[in-house]
Structure 1
Amino acid sequence: MYWRLEAGMAAAMGLSLVVGVAIVEALQSLGINGVKLKWPNDLYYQDKKLAGILVEMSGQAGGAANLVIGMGMNLNMCEQVTGIDQPWTSLSEVADKPFSRNELVVAFIKAWHAALEDYELRGLHGFVERWNQHDNFLEREVKLIMGAREVKGIVKGIDATGAVLLETERGVEAYVGGEISLRKA
């Protein structure tokens, strides 16, 4: 989906979080429950990856940002798929009922449009609590991988800037980069 963000490129920080919330809520509106979010841009179901979000942007400082928002969702993947390095699931396994791809697309576009309009008016403010309600790793021990550096802690949700909050031995700290992976017991 294309979106012109009048507030500019700096305002686009956290958009994948907003899109994630919109997708989870769109799925709920279709009766597909239990989908969770993984910071900053994945959807999970029972600790298995269901979808990933990508937000590409272009623009110039002081001007509007041109966004292309996309999502890859596993719809009907079969068990024989190889080469995937993480647990995954498919919407056909998650849904309690048959679903229509057209119905999904309509629900996603409507949800994204409403979420993006809200985001332009209020920023992340209206999404932080909603994100935290759907956070797959809330109150769970994780490791945040940032290149060669790892930070271990307990997830405490996201803050008003979209940073992930980790409780470490130094207290609650905010991080804006990295990849979260579950810490192995």
Structure 2
Amino acid sequence: MPAKDAVRGDGPRPRSRVLAALLAAGGQPVSGATLAEGLGITRAALWKHIEALRRDGWPVEGRPHQGYTLDSGAAGRLAARRFVPELLEARRAGARLGHTVHWLAEVGSTNDVARRLAEAGAPEGTVVVADRQAAGRGRLRRAWWSPPGGLWMSLILRPALPPEHLPLLTLAAAAAVAEAAEGLAGRPVQVKWPNDVLIDDRKVAGILLETVSHPHGAEYVVAGIGVNLDVEGEPVPAELAGRLTWLAREAGRRVTRNELAEAILQRLEERYAQLHQEGPGPVLAAWRSRAAWLGEPVRVALPTGEVAGIALDVAPDGSLVVEQAGGRRQRILAGDVQRLRPAGAPPGAGSR
């Protein structure tokens, strides 16, 4: 998708709807008349969309008196080579999240693009994906290394939640990413308060939520999700060596960006709906079930100093509860958490 499309907010592209209809047919031919009528477009417009799909590499066959056919294996083969925004739109057609996808080869930050789309009125569930971020960022404005091969994705949310529940969106997103990653990797995935996703204590993904609020809640939220899926030929920066991992390495099989994005959006839609319909309970339970370092000694760096103690739990407002020496408990809304090793323990050892 060209860069100019990054300011559109007009819903799924017609060719994605054509692709969804062909995929739904499961390899069986569908007549042009049936496709055009079902999509509410003319036969001439349908032909133009079919030609656009063919130019993008989709092997759509058209036979007189039979209709159009798409090989059911074509989607997987195409997605194995590159990210395909039309495929993600087709898979998420009718869903709350992921129905509209804007793809760019390179961008400063997908969160910035998504924010411009939100300001222009883009609907909830609109997604921005980039092959590479030149100025990706994490919490506290830290730079986020975003080489080709990873999944760098931002999502527009327009939650109808009370202000006190908005911080739980970060926990919901972290739990959803962990669930999706575990399903694809086939091995345990944990979450570290508040927004890191870990495999064997190495970071595989992170979440950055940026909220534009009004007095009664959020006008919109941009949920930035970065997953270290693979690294295509770029050396890992020295300061990150040993601290991160890649889903492709952990999964032991090829995982495409389309597959990963679809899995994350599906799990996040479920957690997002739970938060609206059932309140904080299910989201907190899902996060706690994967929580790293709860019950262990930690140090939390704050703008005003640091707090050391036992990481006991997350509170209903999403804050981290730390029990300090003497039994005093403190709730922390924002900070950097580090695990404290017992005296004499080797680097990387936990306290269990």
Structure-1 residue corresponding to 2:340? 183
Asked if the contact 2:172–2:272 (Cα under 8 Å) also holds between the matched residues in 1, the reply is yes
Structure-2 residue corresponding to 1:47? 201
Structure-2 residue corresponding to 1:27? 181
Asked if the contact 1:8–1:65 (Cα under 8 Å) also holds between the matched residues in 2, the reply is no
1:114 to 270, 277, 298: 270
Asked if the contact 2:197–2:203 (Cα under 8 Å) also holds between the matched residues in 1, the reply is yes
Asked if the contact 2:324–2:330 (Cα under 8 Å) also holds between the matched residues in 1, the reply is yes
C-alpha deviation, 1:46, in angstroms: 1.2
Asked if the contact 1:7–1:65 (Cα under 8 Å) also holds between the matched residues in 2, the reply is no
- CA deviations on 1:13-70 (whole Å, 9 max, x unpaired) are 2211111111111223335322111111111111111111011111311255311111
Asked if the contact 2:211–2:218 (Cα under 8 Å) also holds between the matched residues in 1, the reply is no
Letter in 1 for 2:254: P
Asked if the contact 2:164–2:317 (Cα under 8 Å) also holds between the matched residues in 1, the reply is no
**Deviation larger for 99-108 or 28-37:** 28-37
Asked if the contact 1:56–1:69 (Cα under 8 Å) also holds between the matched residues in 2, the reply is yes
**In structure 2, what is the Cα distance between the partners aligned to 1:174 and 1:45?**
26
Q: Which has the higher helix share?
A: 2
C-alpha deviation, 1:7, in angstroms: 2.3
Q: Is 1:82 aligned to residue 237 of structure 2?
A: yes
**In structure 2, what is the Cα distance between the partners aligned to 1:176 and 1:16?**
12
Letter in 1 for 2:321: L
Distance 1:167 1:85, change over 3 A: same
C-alpha deviation, 1:182, in angstroms: 2.1
Distance 1:97 1:157, change over 3 A: farther
List runs of 5+ in structure 2 lacking aligned partners.
1-154, 344-352
Secondary structure of the corresponding residue to residue 129 of structure 1: helix
Q: Which has the higher strand share?
A: 1
TM-score, normalised relative to structure 2: 0.49
**In structure 2, what is the Cα distance between the partners aligned to 1:58 and 1:143?**
30
Instruction: Show the 5 A alignment for 1:1-185.
Output: 1-7=155-161, 9-62=163-216, 64-77=218-231, 80-85=235-240, 87-171=243-327, 172-184=329-341, 185=343
What is the number of residues matched between the two proteins? 185
Distance 1:4 1:33, change over 3 A: same
C-alpha deviation, 1:108, in angstroms: 0.7
**In structure 1, what is the Cα distance between the partners aligned to 2:177 and 2:240?**
24
Asked if the contact 2:185–2:250 (Cα under 8 Å) also holds between the matched residues in 1, the reply is no
Percent identical: 27
**Bigger-Rg structure (1/2):** 2
Asked if the contact 1:8–1:61 (Cα under 8 Å) also holds between the matched residues in 2, the reply is no
**In structure 1, what is the Cα distance between the partners aligned to 2:175 and 2:306?**
27
* Superposed CA RMSD: 2.1
Kindly report structure 1 stretches of 4+ aligned residues shifted beyond 6 Å: none
Asked if the contact 2:179–2:189 (Cα under 8 Å) also holds between the matched residues in 1, the reply is no
Letter in 2 for 1:176: L
Letter in 2 for 1:33: R
Distance 1:79 1:137, change over 3 A: farther
